[in-house]
């Protein structure tokens, strides 16, 4: 798995203070809604209705690379979907020639950069100055802090409105890259479904349906 590869590389370089989650992270989008005033709880309420916890499903796919190139569309970001001769999904790729690392010799500050900051601010519920430099550990820690806090609010029984929608995917990652569910969360709240799947006795992987966000701006 990717975390194991990162863990092995960090160990080979002698980077004892580095952790795989400094370089790669997975997130989900969720919402928690208070019951509108005057509404009554159904007698046969589902767990989701009872605890007002809902996953946010976004079918569109996107990837932002180094704040200079963006892919957006309904097509999966893989060879089959982007080939143009197989699946029927559509996607577009775009960049600004005057706002690239090659042209600027520094961090590009074009519309792709602005779009990435706007998107992250929307999911985080605020603009954090650390978003200016997403490659820095400070940015990773800031995003993870918000995502961890949201997960705590999302999973308590008391219905608490969320300030933003991003939560960490509920896994714990060890220094060597070994992955396991967060304690007490083998299944997702209310809806069920395993947090981790085991296609074989030799590997543990995240479900293939997972939507990702990476330190290097992949959504």
* pLDDT the model gives residue 161: 86
Residue 190 has pLDDT above 90, yes or no: no
Please give the residue that has the higher pLDDT: either 212 or 49.
Answer: 49
Plot region of 178 (φ>0 → left; ψ -120 to 50 → alpha; else → beta):
beta
Can you tell me the mean pLDDT for 9-34?
Answer: 94
Can you tell me the mean pLDDT for 139-159?
Answer: 94
* pLDDT the model gives residue 87: 67
Segment holding 124, helix H or strand E: helix 111-124
Segment holding 73, helix H or strand E: strand 69-73
* pLDDT the model gives residue 56: 82
- 150 and 167 Cβ atoms separated by less than 8 Å: yes
Can you tell me the mean pLDDT for 173-193?
Answer: 90
Can you tell me the mean pLDDT for 33-41?
Answer: 72
Position 79 confidence tier, pLDDT thresholds 50, 70, 90: confident
Residue 46 has pLDDT above 80, yes or no: no
* pLDDT the model gives residue 10: 97
pTM of this prediction? 0.80
- Rounded to a whole number of angstroms, the CA Rg of the chain reads 19
Going from the C-alpha of 176 to that of each of 8, 11, 75, 113, the distances in angstroms are 7, 8, 33, 33
């Amino acid at each position: 798995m990717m975390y194991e590869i990162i863990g092995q590389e960090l160990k080979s370089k002698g980077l004892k203070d580095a952790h795989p989650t400094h370089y790669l992270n997975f997130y989900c989008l969720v919402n928690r809604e208070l019951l509108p005033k005057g509404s009554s709880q159904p007698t046969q309420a589902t767990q989701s209705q009872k605890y007002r916890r809902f996953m946010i499903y976004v079918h569109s796919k996107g990837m932002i690379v180094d704040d200079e190139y963006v892919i957006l569309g309904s097509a999966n970001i893989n060879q089959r979907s982007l080939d143009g001769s197989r699946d029927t999904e559509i996607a577009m790729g775009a960049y600004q020639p005057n706002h690239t690392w090659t042209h600027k010799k520094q961090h590009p500050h074009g519309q792709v950069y602005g779009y990435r900051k706007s998107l992250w601010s929307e999911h985080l519920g605020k603009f954090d100055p650390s978003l200016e430099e997403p490659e820095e550990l400070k940015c990773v820690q800031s995003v993870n802090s918000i995502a961890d806090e949201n997960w705590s609010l999302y999973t308590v029984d008391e219905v608490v409105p969320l300030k933003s929608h991003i939560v960490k995917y509920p896994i714990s990652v060890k220094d060597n890259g070994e992955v396991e569910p967060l304690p007490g969360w083998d299944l997702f709240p209310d809806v069920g479904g395993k947090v981790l799947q085991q296609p074989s006795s030799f590997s543990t992987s995240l479900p293939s349906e997972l939507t990702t966000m990476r330190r290097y701006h992949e959504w």
